[in-house]
Amino acid sequence: MSQILIVGIDNAVRSQMLEGYLKKKLGHQTRVYSCGIEPSGVDPQAIRAMAEDQVVIAGQTSDALSEFSKFDFDQIFIFDETVQRDLEKVFPHVEPVLLAVKPIEGFGGLERLEQIRVLRSSMSSICDDVILKHLS
């Protein structure tokens, strides 16, 4: 069974969404985890937006990168080059795949929820690309 790690800055939106989509699309053949350099909790608006697409991320947790130091991952994905330095401290011999996706800014509100919905659509497509290009 392969293991995948998704690393974000705060493990609140992008990494949680990709984790949810990968779990749904890959099923039990792969273990998928997400974490952050500075975990801040799963964003309630991300939970809502994903539920609208029948992907449940409400039970996922926002974990710190250090919690995975004893794991062996087949693939690691990052969203921002700024996490590379922290990742190298924990996994010095791993070359992550950069998925350049901008973070969602701000807190709450309908405008932000719409931004998250747009991001959700992008993350679904990114998930398909990840599976095709990196996990097949």
Q: Are 16 and 62 in contact (CB under 8 A)?
A: yes
pLDDT digits (tens, 9 = 90+) for 46-104: 999 999 999 999 999 999 999 999 999 999 999 999 999 999 999 999 899 999 899 98
Q: Which amino acid is at 134?
A: H
CA distance 18 to 130: 10
| Beta-carbon-side half-sphere exposure of residue 49 (alpha carbons within 13 Å) | 30
Which bin fits 64, alpha (ψ -120 to 50), beta or left (φ > 0)? beta
Helix (H), strand (E) at residue 48: helix 44-52
Domain 2-134 has what CATH class?
alpha beta
> Is a pLDDT exceeding 90 seen at residue 107?
no
Q: Are 19 and 37 in contact (CB under 8 A)?
A: no
For the chain, the structural domain boundaries read 2-134
